[in-house]
Structure 1
Amino acid sequence: MSAVVAPAAVPDTRHVVVETLREEASIWLFVVKTLIAFFAAGWLAMRFGLPAPSTAMLTTIIVANRQSGMVLAKSFYRAIGTVGGAAAAVGIVAAFPQERDLFLLALSLWIGICAGGATLYRNFKSYAFVLGGYTAAIVAVPVIDNPPGVFDSAVARLSEVLLGLLVSGVVNDVVFPSRMRDVLRRSAREQFAHFLEFVRGATEGSMPREAMETAHLRFVRDAVALEDLRSSVIFEDAEARSRSNHLRLFNQRFMAASTSFQSLHHLVNRLKRAKRDRAAETLIRLYAPIGDALHVPVEAGIAARVLLPRLADARTAMRNHLPTLRATMDDAQDLRDYDTGASLLMRFVDELHAYVDSAASLQAPRVIGGSAERVRFDRGNDWLGAGLATFRTTLTMLVLGLFWIGSAWPMGSSAMLLATVFAGLFATTPNPTRVTWIVMLGYLCGMAAGFVCEFFVLTQMDGYGLLVAGIAPFLAIGLVMMMSRRLGSFGLGWAMGLAYILSLKNVQTYDPVHFINDAIAQVVGLGAAAVSFVVIPPAIGSAWLRRRQLARLRGQVALAAEAPLPGLRHRFESVNHDLVSQVVAQTQPGSADSRALIAWALAVHETGRALIELRHDMARRDVPSTLLPYLREALRTLARFYEKPDPAGYLLARDAVATAIASVGEHSGQAHLLEHLHLVRMALLDGESVLAAYMPSAPLAKEIVHAS
């Protein structure tokens, strides 16, 4: 079962030139569409007589993205956050109309809760929480001295933001739209082709652990990336919405099949290391029909339909060969190894067939809605990290609020608003201090460009057409930088700083003193957000959170051993993949943290799935009551060991599993339980796994020990 390594491709000069030109065209298309949306939103806001057209214009920059689906998804959640924030602002002002201190306390707490909630979600769902926080500040802070005006303020902000979202959505959906569905389809096809090629290329023998770790990382990234894309594409495409649950099922079946695939190869590797070549080679012979079935070109559109009957025939052939190959085993230990591997192999081929069947359903011209099993992709969130984000943001807002009250600074509200925006916006990034300082530098440069634009360019022009001509070159600089991987954060700061400081209105005023005071207040707000990340470091990306996430990952074995069975397979797989994806994104590739994570992930995946299958078999079939205490003790000790691994817990778990195996072996008709327990015990005794650190002596690392 060796991995296949493709030869390095020689870059083609023509291909490089074409790709470069395509990339440049994509960048400038993004710039042009964003400029159209920016100025169209401003023109409409002025025509409708809205009090702050700049809010609608700034909204188009915040939701800007190359992909139309991303713009629509971000706009959808921004709209939800804006409505929620406006409602919260009205409630806070109504509750404390005459109590400025309590008003600021309630507002700060609301903003903090929203920042904490943003850390619990991925993609643009977190953005809705960020918007809910700073929209409340945008609505409530300006009317702190005029509480009756809060309703008008809320309606105005809602109108401006929703107008900006509507214009961005229309422009990106009409002007040379770039569809996310194409990216989603390509990602799904690549996941499918890569996994089948990997399975096909793994039929010849053992697979090195390093290759398995690399494959596991690829499987994790593929599964999480596909779910992230699916959650965005449903906003731009009706067909994608109709196939959304089928795509979730496709992804869940991929995770299940890849976990069984890993367990199978760990088993074969262990047998070979223990010099139990007869059992290993017999399992490889049993595995061979899968490789034969997959020896067809894996191309988009027809691959799954072609593969389904071939996999069905392979499964039938394997079932027919099972007793014949088993009869060649004359050693009790070889027989037990073979039975365990054969059971795992048949589980894998069933899951592989189900995965290919899901692919065939997705490739069909029409999908019948509701025909697929309803599944969900659960996430691995950390509530304590969210609490830390809540505390930090609340404290920052309270400090700024107290400073505003104590100093009676006329521009204090502007500082609070900027601190609110950036404290929430970057609460979910792995290194918010660095990102905030880079954005702040870009923001300063954008404001400097805004000063030149407003007082040296716009004062010489009249009419909206010339206003567009005067601002567009300055804004385009920031938009181009936003598309650069190295200058993206700087460009975002430039564009936001320019749009915010210009503060375009129906009747534009040119007041250098007010401009400079407002710029100082905005810098203070940005600086306060950056300092807050230094004083109270975020959990995301920290060693503290990685340790908690690793503990949560190990705790997935306890989930597998003790949680209710309905939906447990899907929950176990999706949370595992999400947790691994989070930690991998926040660790240096090849580092000790990264290697420890992968090692634990492989152990958790294998043991957890074996326990889930064991519990399902216990629930489906009659198990003698005399066996239940031994089985439950094995489940309990394994759960406790993975939650808090130590040598003593390892011995308890190892011995409990051995006792359960011996007890089950005394009862006829319980071979299905024995196979799962034997797989768990082999994983416990794997000298190359992360569990080797808890083994009492080295000899167990060299052989597979069987219960007598």
Structure 2
Amino acid sequence: MSHAGSHGLRHELGVWARSEGLSWIFIFKMLAAALTTLWLAMRLDMPQPSTAVMAVFIVMQPQSGQVIAKGLHRLLGTLIGLLAMLPLIALFNQEPVLFLGGMAVWVALCTAGAARYRDLRSYSCVLAGYTATLVSLTAIQHPETAFLQALWRVLEIGLGVLCCSVFSAAILPQTTGTAMRQAVARRFGDFAAVVVTHLPGGDRAAFEDAQARLAAHTVRLETLRSMSGYDDPQLNLRMGRLTRLNHDFMAMTSRFHALQQLLERLRGQGDSLALDAFAPCLDSLSALLAPWRQRNLDIPGAAELAAQLEDYRAQLMPLIRQARTALDALAPDSPLRLDFDTAAELLYRLADDLLDYAQTHAALAPTRHARERWSERFAPRANRLAVAAAALRMLLLSGLGSALWLQTAWPSGNMFLITAVIIGALCSASPNPARMALQMAGGTCLAALLGFVESFLVFPRISGFPMLALAVTPVFLFGLYLATRPGWAGYGLGLLILFGFGTIPANLSVHDPATLLNNYIALVLSQLLVAVVMACVLPPNRPWLWRHLERDLRRRVVHALRAPLKGLAAGFDSSTRDLLTQAHDLAAGHPAVQRDLLRWMTLVLEIGHAVIELRQEKARLPDESSYAEGTAWRRAFDALAAALVRLFANPTPAHLSQTLAQVELAIDAVRRTPEARAPHFASSPLRRLESYLHFIRTALLDPHSPLAERLPRPGAAHAA
């Protein structure tokens, strides 16, 4: 084989090892974890080894930190569910209606908690719900042994979690810490590429897609951060800095977005004089970031970048002043001057944000650093109606399953109800729970067919654990393979979880064909019930929730106007991006809806950050007569704030007209206020306030904003 051919083969093998090879490592690790769990459960005479094996498949994740985090929260949820169910069993073991009603309410409340928190607490809530069902329904038929059976369920689940965690962390581990480091290293290069590509203008749709990716990146990175400390002690010592780094990234992406949007509006208005004057400033930023695009940023590189940015910031103000001389011939109140000053203010603040990010990244090197003291946290946001709908679906699912069991006295009714609650709870976390439930129903049908073959044709002919392991290995391998394929993951999970639950023999094995057939029917019918309920009862991937998430996005501006300033910027950024990520996932397959939601996020980020900056400037004003309470510009600001609240709570043509009028009045009031300072944004607070007001005005008049598309364009004359 030629050298070129061998080099190409090595390259292809390397690509395979980094993609498909990792999947097969994960498959064989989880197979080993499941078989080890099964052997230990049988060796320790646990009553239901299938529960332990099912726990392995529920908590399995590609990265060890995710497995450990999910495992610990699974145990926490299991204990909470146990504590919740024991009183119900003690009080209502002779009253099945009251008992099942209380259980249904508990499962619904846990599902609501899972939809509300959207982090690791969410997983604990899911587990507290369906583990309570698993524990109680296996114990209610023999309440005198309820506590002992509940204790066995906890031990079986704990064994599955322990084995899965050990195999994930000890054998060729793929750590969450490593994934976190790689993500942090890549994202500044991605951001630099977006800046260099889109700062001169160009394809708006491509820029919006880039914005959506960056927004989703911050949410995913927060999830990685929350789990990386479980398998990487070094990152655990830097959690404060990693949180701050994510905040700094959100701040600089928001600032660049505002700058780019302003420049696009100026290009659309044909404002070439201001753009030509500002071009050297933009060129300087592009020249600074061009070497960093698509380049991994390690800690030494971050220190180098921070040094470059310090020099750049020192040179930026003289460059802005020199560029501004091209507008000296214009009148002092010329709109072109205000356009230039607003763009210059945004660019200068962007330089500050870039420097903060680079310094925080460089500060990850030492074990301890002053930047570790960071109290602000990522603030996910959930829609209240979506939370209530998730609880309602689970309440109906539990109620229907309970009613069917009570009315038919079906011997496998408990299996039917347990399976429906478990799969319903797992599907509730999916953006498309109906599709996930249908996929798991397909996997359940396959599990029933394979389980029937194993139970009646294989298990009676074998003896000993080695032969049992050999018999179940092909099914486990097939299910794990499906679970690693994104489009088939539901089928794989359904096959793995329900095959283990319905087919793996107990330590006291009983070959009862009628019961086994009943159980298989229960498994399949329960999945069909889950699919019907998830598809028919307020499914989340439908227009009703898109509209409510759009409203929640708009109300972030109201939050920016009214919430306390402490921690407001970080909370506003993270909640807005989290809402967009939810909406973007729920609207998958509807690009027009995704585009509309993205434009609302764009407008909300622009207006919200401008409002927060205005409030921060007001809070920092010196004690001088120009800034005193009761001045005309302060009253105009209060009127503008009220108008913005009305507009974003209810975006009507009348409210847009009123808001534009109030912006004009506020700008005029600021201009007419005398100030004993140089009239430049670096020295004059009122000039900075005027720049933010002008930015708000241009954002409201943006021809690409959702306001322009949905409402008449009153005040077009204000576009100056």
- TM-score relative to the length of structure 1: 0.93
Q: How does 1:91-106 map to 2 (within 5 A)?
A: 91-106=87-102
Name stretches of at least 5 consecutive residues in structure 2 with no aligned partner: 1-6, 676-685
Residue 648 of structure 1 deviates from its aligned partner by 0.4
Partner of residue 268, structure 1: 263
The counterpart of 2:637, out of the listed 631, 635, 645, is 631
Structure 2 residue 176 is matched with structure 1 residue 160: no
Distance in 1, Cα, partners of 2:279 & 2:359 = 24
Distance in 2, Cα, partners of 1:20 & 1:34 = 20
Distance in 2, Cα, partners of 1:207 & 1:698 = 28
Distance in 1, Cα, partners of 2:656 & 2:583 = 25
Residue 237 of structure 1 deviates from its aligned partner by 1.3
The counterpart of 1:311, out of the listed 303, 309, 312, is 309
Could you say if the C-alpha distance between residues 292 and 445 of structure 1 is closer, same or farther in structure 2, counting changes exceeding 3 Å?
closer
The counterpart of 1:45, out of the listed 30, 38, 41, is 41
Partner of residue 681, structure 1: 697
Partner of residue 7, structure 1: none
1:120 counterpart letter in structure 2: R
Name stretches of at least 5 consecutive residues in structure 1 with no aligned partner: 1-10
Partner of residue 679, structure 2: none
* 8 Å contact from structure 1 (residues 422, 436) kept in 2: yes
The counterpart of 1:249, out of the listed 232, 235, 244, is 244
Could you say if the C-alpha distance between residues 12 and 379 of structure 1 is closer, same or farther in structure 2, counting changes exceeding 3 Å?
farther
Q: How does 1:245-644 map to 2 (within 5 A)?
A: 245-297=240-292, 298-301=295-298, 302-329=300-327, 330-331=329-330, 332-362=334-364, 364=365, 366-368=367-369, 371-538=372-539, 540-588=540-588, 591-622=591-622, 623-624=627-628, 625-626=630-631, 627-644=633-650
1:632 counterpart letter in structure 2: D
Q: How does 1:77-156 map to 2 (within 5 A)?
A: 77-122=73-118, 124-156=120-152
The counterpart of 2:207, out of the listed 202, 212, 218, is 212
Partner of residue 674, structure 2: 668
* 8 Å contact from structure 1 (residues 584, 594) kept in 2: yes
Structure 2 residue 75 is matched with structure 1 residue 69: no
Distance in 2, Cα, partners of 1:157 & 1:133 = 14
Could you say if the C-alpha distance between residues 82 and 604 of structure 1 is closer, same or farther in structure 2, counting changes exceeding 3 Å?
same
Secondary structure of 1:541's match? Answer: coil
2:382 counterpart letter in structure 1: N
Residue 598 of structure 1 deviates from its aligned partner by 1.8
* 8 Å contact from structure 1 (residues 553, 576) kept in 2: yes
Distance in 2, Cα, partners of 1:683 & 1:89 = 54
The counterpart of 1:653, out of the listed 659, 663, 672, is 659
Distance in 2, Cα, partners of 1:699 & 1:143 = 69
1:153 counterpart letter in structure 2: Q
Could you say if the C-alpha distance between residues 651 and 416 of structure 1 is closer, same or farther in structure 2, counting changes exceeding 3 Å?
same
* 8 Å contact from structure 2 (residues 432, 586) kept in 1: no
Distance in 2, Cα, partners of 1:369 & 1:353 = 16
Could you say if the C-alpha distance between residues 693 and 519 of structure 1 is closer, same or farther in structure 2, counting changes exceeding 3 Å?
closer
Secondary structure of 1:426's match? Answer: helix
Secondary structure of 1:120's match? Answer: helix
* 8 Å contact from structure 2 (residues 556, 572) kept in 1: yes
* 8 Å contact from structure 1 (residues 444, 497) kept in 2: no
Secondary structure of 1:49's match? Answer: coil
Bigger CA drift: 52-61 or 211-220?
Answer: 211-220
String of CA shifts for 1:565-596, please: whole Å, max 9, x gaps.
11110011101111111111222467221221
2:230 counterpart letter in structure 1: F
Secondary structure of 1:294's match? Answer: helix
Could you say if the C-alpha distance between residues 696 and 141 of structure 1 is closer, same or farther in structure 2, counting changes exceeding 3 Å?
closer
Residue 299 of structure 1 deviates from its aligned partner by 4.2
Secondary structure of 2:363's match? Answer: helix
Distance in 1, Cα, partners of 2:588 & 2:507 = 51
- TM-score relative to the length of structure 2: 0.91
* 8 Å contact from structure 2 (residues 378, 570) kept in 1: yes
Could you say if the C-alpha distance between residues 24 and 223 of structure 1 is closer, same or farther in structure 2, counting changes exceeding 3 Å?
closer
1:663 counterpart letter in structure 2: A
Secondary structure of 1:486's match? Answer: helix
Distance in 2, Cα, partners of 1:503 & 1:108 = 28
* 8 Å contact from structure 2 (residues 444, 523) kept in 1: no
